[in-house]
Amino acid sequence: MRHFPNTLKFLIAFVLFNNGIQAVIYFAGSFASQDLNLSLAILSATILLIQFVAFAGALLMGWIGRRFGTKNTVLASLVVWCALVTCGYYLPPDDPALFLLLGAGIGMVLGGTQSLARALYSLLIPAGARPSTSACSSWPTGGRCSWARPRSPWWST
């Protein structure tokens, strides 16, 4: 990593902002039920809404990334994340419509932020780098790691 300082900077930034995103996801349910007094039905509906909107949001952010650049789009999505979390802090209790609206906003940036961040990482690895640099890199995902591909091909055994 000494030879790729921009990649190292990005990985440090990724760990920080991805942990922030994971924290929002982790604490959203208890915040909604305890602080906003929302029912389990509203929480379930919001989770479904986020899942469906995240698909469209990832496609939209992909288009924006092609038009304005991947780095600019990731940075803009993080600004939107900050704005949404701030809005969530000021949500009034017992208002499921605003919570659903916040969920739709989070869905719009959730999938796109993570997929474009991975795409940006792939752009930061020089073409002549060892294959193990990109093929065996792990991404922190809330205490777990997801591998790009297995170290040894499972189909060859």
Residue 88 confidence (pLDDT): 94
Average pLDDT over residues 68-84: 95
Both tokens assigned to 21: 């995103």
Between vectors from CA 91 to CA 19 and to CA 107, what angle results, nearest 5°? 45
Percent of the chain having pLDDT more than 90? 65
Q: State yes or no: pLDDT of 7 exceeds 70.
A: yes
Residues of the chain with pLDDT > 70, as a percent, come to: 80
pTM listed for this prediction: 0.77
The domain locations on the chain are 5-126
10 Å CB burial of residue 38 (0-12, 13-18, 19+) is buried
CA 14, CA 78: separation in Å to the nearest integer?
11
